[in-house]
Structure 1
Amino acid sequence: MTVTTGNPPGDFVQVGATRDGLDPYLDCARRRGMRAVLVETPAYLRWRRLLGRREFDVEVAVARPQDPDAVRAALAAAAVAPGLVLTGFERYVYAGFALARALRVAPWPGAGDGFRPLDKREQREALLRGAPQVAQPRFVPLGPGDGDAADRLGFPHVIKPADGGGGLGVPLVDGVAQRRRALDRVRALVNYGGGAFSGIVAEEFVKGPELSLQGVAHEGNAVLLSVCEKLTCLEEVRGESDLSGFREVGHVARPGDGAPPALRELAQACLDATGYRAGPFHVDVIQGPAGPVFVEMGFRLSGGGLVALVEKATGADWAELAFRTHLGDAAPVRPPFPDGGRTGGESV
Structure 2
Amino acid sequence: MGEGREQNEAFVTLATNDTYALGCLVLGSSLRRVGTTRQLAVMVTSGVSQSMRQQLGGLFNQVVEVNVLDSSDTCNLELLGRPDLSVTFTKFHCWRLTQYQKCVFMDADTLVVQNVDELFDREELSAAPDAGWPDCFNSGVFVYVPSEQTYRNLLSFAVTGGSFDGGDQGLLNLYFNKWATEDIGKHLPFTFNVVSQAFYSYLPAFKQFYDNIKVVHFIGAVKPWHHAYNTASRTVTQLPGTGHSQQFLQMWWNIFMDSVQPNLDPQLYESSVVSQNLSCSGIAGDLANMSLERSGEDGAMRDDRERKLQWEQGQADYMGVDRFDNIKARLDEKIAQPTPSGSGKAPEDQPPPPSE
TM (norm. structure 1) is 0.30
> Between Structure 1 and Structure 2, which shows a larger proportion of helix residues?
2
> Between Structure 1 and Structure 2, which shows a larger proportion of strand residues?
1
